[in-house]
Amino acid sequence: MNINAIVATRMTSSRLPGKVLMDFAGEPALVRLIERLRQSKYLHNVVIATTTNEQDAIVVETAKKQGVLYYRGSEEDVLARTVEAAQATNTDLIVQITSDCPLIDAETIDTAIERMLEHPYLDYVGNHLVRTYPLGFSVEVFRTETLAEVERMTIDPPDREHVSLYIYERPEQYRLSNVEAPYFLRHPEFRLTLDTSDDYELINKVFESLYPVKKDFSLYDIVRFLQTNPELLEMNRHIQQKKPR
């Protein structure tokens, strides 16, 4: 079974354009994300699913330099782009990660993958159906064939933008499983997603403090650091997360 991370990435973010190339400890956010994905025990490849927009040529160059796979598709139809990227790279099991999550760690990813591998009757495994992990640590796992079926069935704009929305909104149709964080890591109030300049400042503080000491720092290390420096959490506490609908 080919298990690949599919990372939907583009330069033209509405709230923070160019965020995937913002610097964290001397490298772009996308490079730091790729580094962290490569620490997974289960991922065979990282696939950067970007767009045909000329502005995203630099995303492709970054993927090439990092030696990871890439695919270029629709800018607005993220669902179609993700399905096509998975099919083009012979992906059986999609591990959906967004480029908003440069801090996501291998342990969080692998816990979700293990749930799917241990319970193959499931259609979907995620860790945000009931959020216990910090925002910015979302991981979703589902089969390419399931997502391809969804892509053929829905034309609803939110479904086309938010790749797995159609699946997890239909628990009567799909077998869903939610992974909950271990007790020490249960901090859904922590905002560690890269969506605004204030988010960048907080995440940059984490990288500046932890990366020089331990390049493969984990969510455990992040939580311990933020508990020691709680004032940092005020940097982006005011930001409201956008909802899919």
The C-alpha atoms of residue 104 and residue 190 are separated, in whole angstroms, by 13
- Partner residues linked to 81 by β-bridges: none
Rounded to 5 degrees, what are φ and ψ at 69? -75, 160
Amino acid at 3: I
Nearest to 176 by CA among 111, 117, 120, 123: 123
The C-alpha atoms of residue 147 and residue 82 are separated, in whole angstroms, by 9
Q: How many CB atoms lie within 10 A of CB 234?
A: 10
pLDDT at position 63? 98
- Partner residues linked to 71 by β-bridges: 49
Q: How many CB atoms lie within 10 A of CB 119?
A: 11
Given the DSSP bridges, would you call strands 69-73 and 45-51 parallel, antiparallel or unpaired?
A: parallel
The C-alpha atoms of residue 157 and residue 160 are separated, in whole angstroms, by 5
pTM: 0.96
- Write the CA distances from 81 to 49, 71, 148, 190, integer angstroms: 7, 8, 11, 30
Helix intervals (H) in the chain: 29-37, 57-66, 78-88, 106-118, 144-153, 157-161, 165-168, 197-210, 219-228
pLDDT at position 245? 85
The C-alpha atoms of residue 42 and residue 54 are separated, in whole angstroms, by 33
Q: Which two tokens stand for residue 31?
A: 């490079």
Domains of the chain: residue spans and CATH: 3-235 (3.90.550.10)
Tens of each residue's pLDDT in the chain, 245 residues: 999 999 999 999 888 999 999 999 999 999 999 999 999 999 999 999 999 999 999 999 999 999 999 999 999 999 999 999 999 999 999 999 999 999 999 999 999 999 999 999 999 999 999 999 999 999 999 999 999 999 999 999 999 999 999 999 999 999 999 999 999 999 999 999 999 999 999 999 999 999 999 999 999 999 999 999 999 999 999 999 888 88
